[in-house]
Amino acid sequence: MEKSKQVLLAHGSGGKLSQELVRNMFVGELANEALCRMDDSACLDAGDGRLAFTTDSYVVSPIFFPGGNIGKLAVCGTVNDLSTSGATPKYLSLAMIIEEGLPFEDLSRVVQSIKATAEEAGVCIVTGDTKVVNRGKADKLFINTAGIGVVPRGVNISGVNAKPGDIVMLSGSIGDHGMAIMAQREGFTFSVPVESDCAPLNGLVAEMMKVSSNIHVLRDPTRGGLASTLNEIAAQSGVGIEIEESKVPVKDAVRSACELLGFDPLYVANEGKMIAIVAREDADKVLAALRNHRYGIDAAVIGEITAEHKNRVVLRTALGARRIVDMLSGELLPRIC
Amino acid sequence: MEKSKQVLLAHGSGGKLSQELVRNMFVGELANEALCRMDDSACLDAGDGRLAFTTDSYVVSPIFFPGGNIGKLAVCGTVNDLSTSGATPKYLSLAMIIEEGLPFEDLSRVVQSIKATAEEAGVCIVTGDTKVVNRGKADKLFINTAGIGVVPRGVNISGVNAKPGDIVMLSGSIGDHGMAIMAQREGFTFSVPVESDCAPLNGLVAEMMKVSSNIHVLRDPTRGGLASTLNEIAAQSGVGIEIEESKVPVKDAVRSACELLGFDPLYVANEGKMIAIVAREDADKVLAALRNHRYGIDAAVIGEITAEHKNRVVLRTALGARRIVDMLSGELLPRIC
Ligand SMILES: Nc1ncnc2c1ncn2[C@@H]1O[C@H](COP(=O)(O)OP(=O)(O)OP(=O)(O)O)[C@@H](O)[C@H]1O
Ligand SMILES: Nc1ncnc2c1ncn2[C@@H]1O[C@H](COP(=O)(O)OP(=O)(O)OP(=O)(O)O)[C@@H](O)[C@H]1O
Ligand SMILES: [Mg+2]
Ligand SMILES: [Mg+2]
Ligand SMILES: [Mg+2]
Ligand SMILES: [Mg+2]
Ligand SMILES: [Mg+2]
Ligand SMILES: [Mg+2]
């Protein structure tokens, strides 16, 4: 593909072009140790303690969808990115860009969800900002949250830490969030309705950390889906990842919706799932801890880290074939989160 | 005015409706100690130290203007909000919402400015996010930065700390940013060109703090201008503020531009100015420190804190009259920052 001189929608897909833009334009130019790690949250020294710091903007359309809304999403997404470094999420900022004309009723419902979700996650919204732009210059509501968490001493969880032999597990089924947004946006009704999995996963991560100090990587497979996120980790750690297709949980309703619409669930966004890469000896304990939590009941081991095919993700299909699973290329579903 | 059921542009003005929206909808619902103080950055306990945390989204139009661009603004604004709590700004997050079709050349110029300004301010961009929305669903580029700073022990600078007898000073002339944006947006050319004052003020604040431990309030008069910001402080501290009109620095070019266009400079946004409210005995030292810094050469004492007319800002005009200066009502210049 020829290099575009303009930003394309695919530059926000969470896939290849996203990564290229972020690497070349932002991380490349603004380089420093924390940023260049390219983890979901930056770990920072703050005198005596270590902090995690992360940010996401939320531009999902529509702003209300089955299983949540942009407000719930804005809390969960940032809490989850903090959780990926093993941090205890503490403080959030809340910045709203509102399109002129947004009904107060909608704004109020969003704020109620923010409140409820922040309470569930045990985080405090301590600072904020509110901008309003003219009609037609934004789309209803964009939210940015940044988050600060505290990383307990001795904890070192990062995308660079996957080691050959490690076990790859997933906290539950994939594709729910993406297909729920898709259905809502396009007005599809499936025989079994699909709901977003949007959830704050800090409690789940805390349970895992209680039973193991050998969790090497945590990562939430959001834009770009499981396939893109595993590719990111493979590249960060310089390892191979082998996944067994039949072990990746996908709900029937999501699978049929994906088939109908021609999506591969491996590339569909999730907002309440965690990938955990764990030392082999602790895998059973961690899996049990996951399954014991309301957000991890469908958790499964889905594969392992290999020394072979470095930087690549390989899928073993049900029929025993192996295929390389690349990052998402192009844009699958714009404005999914 | 009848209560609107929809968000109006004036809800983003930095004036009355802004404050009402923020207070009723956000701060009211999400109430906690740090948030309810309504300072420009939240001061947080982090085990051993104290942190400042703040966020702003930047939606300025056009994204390039005389004296800066949206990238420079996004670093300065957040650095300045951290500086208002006497914090040393350390880490920034950088979240971009890009409209499909933005030329890479523009994006790159913005990133260069972010880099240069972060370097000047001595802050590190440690985490980020990049979303792309379809053409027509945003306007070129919106940026959010959140910032973390470290508050030295014993420092307690807040909008609640103004005391009768304190001296009010301003680090330089007002209205430059707003009029520069206005001119650029509307294609006006003034006989003397007006430039944005956009600048990172942490160095300036550090110089003030070196010479005095009796700085009670610092606040950057952004949206809503000097008048609205002083009203915020008067209300937070429950004091009166008296300002001498003739002492408020306004550049000739800005004054004539304002006259021409019917603006009152007291309500026009600034992006490189600081209000300092200081114990009377330290006023001379602090003023000297301000004037000694490149961003404070035009600094001036503009008034004082009074026990009378609590929660109000009173202006003494050149002719000796007194008038109450209220917060901005309605929207003066949308998308000024
Ligand atoms: N504009 C940017 N400037 C600096 N770093 C960025 C920028 N955008 C993304 N990054 C960095 O790139 C990495 C990946 O970011 P990305 O937003 O894809 O992760 P995520 O938040 O986990 O995913 P999602 O946004 O889908 O939830 C992170 O390390 C992030 O800090
Ligand atoms: N959406 C929001 N949620 C929670 N608090 C908010 C929100 N918007 C604003 N606030 C709070 O209101 C106060 C004023 O915010 P405001 O954005 O006006 O300040 P500022 O950043 O100094 O000004 P500007 O945005 O013009 O630079 C701050 O204490 C801020 O934390
Ligand atoms: Mg995220
Ligand atoms: Mg603000
Ligand atoms: Mg993530
Ligand atoms: Mg600000
Ligand atoms: Mg992100
Ligand atoms: Mg401010």
Indicate the CATH number for domain A166-325: 3.90.650.10
pLDDT band at B263 (very low <50, low <70, confident <90, very high): very high
The yes-or-no verdict on residue B44 having pLDDT over 80 is no
Q: What is the model's pLDDT at position A39?
A: 83
| Cβ contact, residue pair A127, B35, below 8 Å | yes
Residue whose token pair is 């000739």: B252
Q: Is the CB of B312 under 6 A from ligand 2?
A: no
- pLDDT tens for residues A244-292? 999 999 999 999 999 989 999 999 999 999 999 999 999 999 999 999 9
For ligand 2, say whether the CB of B271 is within 6 Å of any of its atoms: no
Tell me if A107 sits within 8 A of A147, measured CB to CB: no
Question: Once rounded to an integer, what is the mean pLDDT over residues A144-162?
Answer: 94
Q: Is B60 on the interface with A (CB under 8 A)?
A: no
What is the average pLDDT across B148-167? 94
CB contacts under 8 A, A 12-31 vs B, are 12-13, 18, 21-22, 25-27, 29-30
At A47, is the pLDDT very low, low, confident or very high (cuts 50, 70, 90)? low
Residue A330 has a pLDDT of 87
A23 phi and psi angles, rounded to 5 deg: -65, -50
Instruction: With beta carbons less than 8 A apart as the criterion, state whether A277 and A205 touch.
Output: no
Q: Which pLDDT tens digit goes with each residue over B55-67?
A: 999 999 999 999 9
Residue A77: closest CA among chain B residues belongs to which residue? B129
Does residue A311 or residue A13 have the better pLDDT? Answer: A311
Residues 136-175 of A with CB under 8 A from B: 136-139, 142, 144, 146, 148, 150
Q: Where in chain B is the domain with CATH 3.90.650.10?
A: 166-325
Residue A320 has a CB neighbour count (10 Å cut-off) of 6
pLDDT band at A48 (very low <50, low <70, confident <90, very high): low
Inter-CA distances, B74 with B46, B71, B92, B171, B286, Å: 25, 5, 10, 20, 27
Query: In whole angstroms, what is the distance from residue B238 CA to residue A124 CA?
Result: 26
Q: Do B125 and A59 touch (CB under 8 A)?
A: no
Chain A nearest C-alpha distance from B315 (Å): 28
Per-residue pLDDT reduced to its tens digit, B45-94 = 776 678 999 999 999 999 999 999 999 999 999 999 999 999 999 999 99
Cα within 13 Å of Cα(A67), Cβ side: 22
Q: What is the per-residue pLDDT for B208? A: 98
Contact A53 B126 (CB under 8 A): yes
pLDDT of residue B298: 98
- Our answer on whether the CB atom of B97 is closer than 6 Å to any ligand 1 atom is no
Asked if the model's pLDDT at residue A30 lies above 90, the reply is: no
Report the pLDDT averaged over residues B199-219.
98
Q: What residue ranges of chain B are covered by domains with CATH 3.30.1330.10?
A: 42-151
The answer on pLDDT for A1 being more than 60 is: no
- pLDDT band for B39, please (50, 70, 90 cuts): confident
What ipTM describes this predicted complex? 0.96
CA proximity to B232, closest of B245, B219, B249, B242: B219
Ligand sitting nearest the alpha carbon of A52: 1
Of residues A307, A264, A142, A170, the one with CA closest to residue B58: A142
Encode pLDDT of B210-261 as tens digits. Answer: 999 999 999 999 999 999 999 999 999 999 999 999 999 999 999 999 998 9
Confidence band for A81, pLDDT divided at 50, 70 and 90: very high
Does residue A21's CB lie within 6 angstroms of at least one atom of ligand 1? no
pLDDT at A206 over 80: yes
Distance CA A17, CA A11 (A): 5
CB contact under 8 A, A124 and B32: yes
**Higher-confidence residue: B121 or B18?**
B121
Q: What is the DSSP string of A203-264?
A: HHHHHHHHH-S-EEEEE---TTHHHHHHHHHHHHHT-EEEEEGGGS---HHHHHHHHHHT--
CATH code reported for the domain at B42-151: 3.30.1330.10
Q: What is the pLDDT of residue B50?
A: 86
How confident is the prediction for chain B on average, in pLDDT? 94
Pocket test for ligand 1, best of A13, A25, A40 (most atoms within 8 A of CB): A40
Å from CA of A311 to ligand 8 middle: 45
**Closest-approach residue (CA) in chain B for A108:** B25
Question: Which residues have a Cβ under 8 Å from the Cβ of A224 and sit 6 or more positions away?
Answer: A13, A14, A15, A18, A267, A269, A327, A328
B50 and B108 Cβ atoms separated by less than 8 Å: no
Instruction: Provide the token pair at A89.
Output: 């999420």
CB contact under 8 A, B6 and A142: no
* Helix locations, B138-251, DSSP H: 176-186, 202-211, 225-237
Mean pLDDT of B171-198: 93
Which chain B residues in 107-136 lie under 8 Å from chain A, judged by CB atoms?
A: 107-108, 111-112, 114-115, 118, 124-134, 136
pLDDT of residue B189: 86
Does the beta carbon of B127 lie inside 6 Å of ligand 1?
Answer: yes
Q: According to the model, what pLDDT value does residue B249 have?
A: 98
**pLDDT attached to residue B146:** 97
Residue A297 CB partners (closer than 8 Å, separation 6+): A172, A291
The predicted pLDDT at position B47 comes to: 67
* pTM to 2 decimal places: 0.95
Residue with the smallest CA separation from ligand 1 atom 17 is: B129
Torsion of CA A37, B81, A130, B221, to 10 degrees: -150
**Best residue among B130, B142, B145 to mutate for probing ligand 1, ranked by most atoms within 8 Å of CB:** B130
Provide the mean pLDDT of chain A: 94
- What pLDDT, on a 0 to 100 scale, did the predictor assign at position B27? 87
Residue-wise pLDDT tens digits, A104-115: 999 999 999 999
> Of A186, A175, A182, nearest to A270 (Cα)?
A175
